[in-house]
Amino acid sequence: MSSNHTAKTEHIMTDNAALRAYYESWDSRIVYQVIMGGTQHFGYWEKDTYWPFPLGSRLRRMEQKLMEILSLPKGSYILDAGCGVGHVARYMAQHGMRILGIDIIDWAISDARNAAKQAGLSKETMSVEKMDYHYLEPISSESFDGVYTMQAFGHAVEPKKAMNGFFRILRPGGRIAMVEVERKTAAEYDDPNDRLTQELKMVNDYTVMPTNEAASENYFKNLLEEAGFVDVEVRDWQPNILPILRLFYALVMIPYFFFRLFGNEKSFINMICARSGYAGRSRWRFVAISATKPGERIESPKNK
């Protein structure tokens, strides 16, 4: 894998102690590990079901769907922006892509590197570095064929800056794909005294997702087009994640009742996230967005 930034560069990071604290909390790590095998994104179901098991195949299916909408040939060089524990990057690399994963959470970076090692992937196929996707200046312009985010852009504190960075590092004809959350209506139209409204805002605040709070219909489309992307396509995958939303809801309802009864439910934000995500599913949607940087379609390296 060619080097597109200087390894010795001290990468600039957003001062986001709250985000680090959330991902380093014991409940976040345990929830993902016990229920999802460490994976930090939803699964994808072709049809709704009340029996979502086994989860593993559905998690991999979501990764496959992301790869499909990215629509790049094998051998493409792709940035995983906010790679977490590297399961999406690992899937992409195992299916012919060359991946650079970046994240700011130390333990997640370590896990992602271990995932690559255990999968037998070389550093030329999958590498992982500590870098903030808001600050991509160490990466050369027009050096990547693709960029993707998988439920990671909600944490963006400067979404326009991040999107402009994605556009800059892509070659002409390069592709971007994002699987994220947006509201069906803007937050200001919600009743501030409504409990569900309060819980949804609490989730975005405590899990440090300002872009999730800000994003409503056409938010990502407009953001991409303002950065210079064309052929923006937005898909609603909300029906395809209902089985896992329902599972999380079922798992937390009894403990939620008792923690709320004693007034300490805020101490378990992932529990509130699971409850409000399903109860408030009519207020938001799970979207898969793809777009292109103007230019000729990216060809397989073998055809260049």
How do residues 16-51 score in pLDDT, each as one tens digit?
A: 888 988 888 877 778 788 889 999 999 999 999 999
Is the model more confident about 237 or about 11? 237
CATH of the domain at 225: 3.40.50.150
The total number of structural domains that make up the chain:
1
pTM here? 0.93
Instruction: Starting at the earlier edge strand, list the strands of the sheet with 98-103.
Output: 126-130, 98-103, 77-81, 144-150, 170-183, 284-292, 230-236
Residue 193 has pLDDT above 50, yes or no: yes
- Please indicate, yes or no, if residue 301 is contained in any of the structural domains: no
User: Residue 67 sits in which domain range?
Assistant: 17-293
Cis bond upstream, residue 54 (ω within 30): yes
Mean pLDDT of the chain: 92
- Please indicate, yes or no, if residue 1 is contained in any of the structural domains: no
- Please indicate, yes or no, if residue 2 is contained in any of the structural domains: no
Residue 68 has pLDDT above 90, yes or no: yes
pLDDT band at 289 (very low <50, low <70, confident <90, very high): very high
Among the ranges given (8-22, 33-47, 82-96, 200-214), the one the predictor scored with the smallest mean pLDDT: 8-22
Residue 9 has pLDDT above 60, yes or no: no
pLDDT of the residue at 1:
52
Is the model more confident about 207 or about 301? 207
pLDDT digits (tens, 9 = 90+) for 138-162: 999 999 999 999 999 999 999 999 9
- Please indicate, yes or no, if residue 102 is contained in any of the structural domains: yes
- Please indicate, yes or no, if residue 33 is contained in any of the structural domains: yes
pLDDT of the residue at 141:
99
- Please indicate, yes or no, if residue 77 is contained in any of the structural domains: yes
pLDDT digits (tens, 9 = 90+) for 258-275: 777 777 666 788 889 999
- Please indicate, yes or no, if residue 4 is contained in any of the structural domains: no
- Please indicate, yes or no, if residue 8 is contained in any of the structural domains: no
